[in-house]
Amino acid sequence: MRRAIPGFPHLSARPVPAPSSVADVPDLTLLFERAREAVSRLPRQVIRPARSVRIHERGIHGRRRAGPGDSFWQFRHYHAGEPAYRIDWRRSARSEHLYVRQQEWETSRILWIACDLSASMNYRSRKDLETKLEAALTLVFAAAVLGWQMGELIGVAGIPGRPFAASARRRLIAAFARALEAGDSDAFDTFAATRLPPHGRAILVSDFLLPPARLERLLARLAEARIATSLVRVEDPAERDFPFTGRVRIEGLEGEAPLLLENAGMARDEIDARLAAHARGLQALAMARGARLVTLGTDRPLADRVLSLAGLLAQ
C-alpha cells in the first residue's frame, strides 16, 4: 500500500509495518528501516546545527588527509629542518630513508552506541506495544543514523574493531544480530573494559534495571575518557505505574525471586514509591558523572522518541 505524504502529493511513502508477533529475535533490518524513516521525518534543523557547530573542532571526522589526529594516515619522507622527534624510527630503520609518521587530520569523533540486550528488555505489558528491546534497538539505530548524518563514526559498545561509517550499515546490523544471537547480555561491562579513544560521545540505551555499581563503573570509565554520555531509559508503562490488583505473584525476567502479593492494590503506593526512588537514584548517578538521562516510554510514538533522541545528540 502506498499512501501520499500529507502536503507532498507527488511523493509517497511505504509505511513500515510494526513488528507484529512476539518474536524472540526482533527483525533488525525492519527495526533499522523504521528508525531510518523516523529520522528522515525529523525536521532538518534538528540535525544540521550539530554539524556546523562542530566542524572546527578537533573531532573524529576524518578529512582523508594528513593532519592532527589519533589515527595513522601515512608515512612520508623526512624533510630537512623538521624537528627530529617526528621521525618514526621504527619505519625508518627498515629502509634507507627517514620517514615521518603522519596522522589523519581528524575532525570527526566516534559516537558510541550501547544497547542493553539483557533478558529484562524482552518485555511488553500489552500486545499493542513494542517490547523494550525492540524500542531500544530502534533508538540505537536511530542514533546511528543521526550520527552518520552528522558526519560521525559509530562505535558499537562491546563490539571491537573499527568504528562503522555510514557505508557500513549492513555490517552494523549484522554486528547487532550476532550480539543478539550470542545472548550478549553484559554489553555494558564489555564496553567498560574497551579501550576508548578520548573525546566523542556515547548513547546508552537500556531499562537500567541493573545493579547501580555496574552502571557507576561504566559511567566513571566514560567520564575518564572525556566522553559525553547520554542515558536513554526505555520504560514500559507497566514499569511506571504498578498495574496489578488482587492476589498476584510477580516474577522478574532475570531470575529474581518471585514475590507474592496478597493484595497488590493495597501495596501499590509502596511499590510506586520504590519505582520513583529507583528513578531518582538513576538520575543522581547520571548527574554525578555529568551524564544526561532521559526516560522514553514505549507507549510514546516513535517519532516522539526519536525527536527526543535527536535533541540529546544536538547538544
Residues near other proteins (CB under 8 A) are: 120, 123, 132, 207, 209, 236, 238-239, 244, 246-254, 256-263, 266-267, 270-271, 274-275, 278
Degrees to nearest 5, angle at CA 63 with 58 and 69: 45
Q: DSSP readout, 132-185?
A: HHHHHHHHHHHHHHHHHHTT-EEEETT--SSPBPGGGHHHHHHHHHHHHHTT--
CA dist list (Å): 48 to 38, 45, 166, 200: 16, 5, 17, 18
Would you say 145 or 209 has its CB closer to other proteins? 209
Burial of 16 (0-12, 13-18, 19+ CB in 10 A): middle
Would you say 24 or 270 has its CB closer to other proteins? 270
Smallest gap from residue 270 Cβ to other proteins (A):
6
Smallest gap from residue 119 Cβ to other proteins (A):
9
Q: What are phi and psi of 191, to 5 degrees?
A: -60, -45
Question: In 3-state terms, what secondary structure has residue 255?
Answer: coil
Would you say 43 or 255 has its CB closer to other proteins? 255
Smallest gap from residue 264 Cβ to other proteins (A):
8
Would you say 84 or 257 has its CB closer to other proteins? 257
Would you say 96 or 262 has its CB closer to other proteins? 262
Smallest gap from residue 125 Cβ to other proteins (A):
8
The residue to which cell 526512588 is assigned: 277
Smallest gap from residue 214 Cβ to other proteins (A):
13
Smallest gap from residue 205 Cβ to other proteins (A):
15
Smallest gap from residue 40 Cβ to other proteins (A):
31
Smallest gap from residue 122 Cβ to other proteins (A):
9
Would you say 37 or 236 has its CB closer to other proteins? 236
Would you say 78 or 244 has its CB closer to other proteins? 244
**Cα–Cα distance measured from residue 252 to residue 160, given in angstroms and rounded to the nearest whole number:** 31
Residue 19: alpha-carbon gap to chain centroid: 21
Would you say 187 or 202 has its CB closer to other proteins? 187
Q: What are phi and psi of 90, to 5 degrees?
A: -60, -45
CA dist list (Å): 216 to 5, 99, 227, 296: 45, 44, 14, 21
Give me Rg for the CA atoms of the chain: 23
Residue 97 has a CB neighbour count (10 Å cut-off) of 11
Burial of 27 (0-12, 13-18, 19+ CB in 10 A): middle
